Amino acid sequence: MLAMLRAQLRGIAGILFALALAGANAVGADAAGAAKPEAFWRTGWAWTAYAGVLNNPDRADTHNLMIFADYPRFISREKIFAFSAQKRLGGYRDWVNWEADATVAYHSGSADYAECAVLGGFRWLKFPWDRWLDTSLAYFLGASYATTVADFENIPAHSGRHSSHLLPALKMELEFRLPKESHWSVVLGYHHRSGAWGTLGDRGTISDFACAGLKYRM
């Protein structure tokens, strides 16, 4: 009887030891999995579809609120329909991200043509009202290539305004999303290309499109 009891105790101890060993291995595997970083190219992507209308170059200015001037006649304006892919490259804490942006666009109006742009920039993530409306502000600089030199970028009446296919590009984007919504957001901003004070095109060459669209984040 005593020998049988000892055998049962040894069996129970063996089972407990096996379970403890299996649990330790599982915890170690989970810890190793948690420590393993996700592949760089599998995370940090966002896609944005947006449309906009051309500002009056005589009344709008890229870096102030006059970009939204004179809109009662917006239906007759030049229009842009664009799609962009953005990738997070890094960042600092939860304050700012560094991002790359690739954009393709279709222009409709006085001329129908395509445009592509490659840009890089930053996205500021901290705003005091984020707990109610998650907000970010992005600013990108790069280069744009248009298949047609549009008349509104090359107006003879404006001295020195002679555009080209390749011009510096700038995009600004204000993003809004509900804090509990992890994928979709609304974006407002502008799509800009110009000679950049004579860098790649004559001084005064400019086109500004005020835009709105939807963004999807992975």
The 10s digit of each residue's pLDDT in 26-44 is 444 444 444 556 787 778 8
Q: Which residues of 154-193 are buried (b: 16+ CB within 10 A; e: fewer)?
A: ebeeeeebbbeeebbbbbbbebebeeeeeeebebbbbbbb
pTM of the model: 0.71
CA–CA dist 80, 109 (Å, integer): 9
Query: Using only C-alpha atoms, what is the Rg of the chain?
Result: 28
Of 95 and 207, the structure prediction assigns the larger pLDDT to: 95
CA–CA dist 66, 50 (Å, integer): 20
SS3 content of the chain, % helix, strand, coil (to 5): 20, 45, 35
